[in-house]
Every structure is written in C-alpha cells, then in structure tokens.
Amino acid sequence: MCSVLRGDRPKFPDDAEADGFDLAKKCWAGDTDNRPTSRALMESFNNIGWWEQGPVCPLC
C-alpha cells in the first residue's frame, strides 16, 4: 500500500500490446481522472472477449 501511495506502479512489458495490458495500464494511471470508470471496464472486458459466455454483468 505504501508503495502505491508513493506513486509506484506495476511494470508492464514495453512490447506488450495486448488489450489486457493496455487496460491494466489505464487502471493504474497516477491521475484518477485518467482511470476508466467501472462501466468502461465492464465494456472493455466484454469487448476483449474475456467472458465468452456472456457479459460480465448487464449494462444499464
């Protein structure tokens, strides 16, 4: 927890272009205004195809 408060973030491979890595990088943005909303996360999960059996949860 202290490392996150200091601004430390996980390291991601430089050559990683997978949608999942891009999404994870956005979630760890230092500026909270640049992080995706819960709704945007659900839409991304569905678009990436991580849940082949259906949506993560219904979108209102």
pLDDT in tens, 13-50: 776 667 678 888 888 888 999 999 999 988 888 887 66
CA distance 47 to 17: 15
42 and 57 in contact (C-beta within 8 Å)? yes
Which pLDDT tens digit goes with each residue over 2-12?
887 788 887 87
Q: Would you say the pTM of this structure is higher than 0.75? A: no
Buried b (16+ CB within 10 A) or exposed e, 27-53: eeeeeeeeeeeeeeebebbeeeeeeee
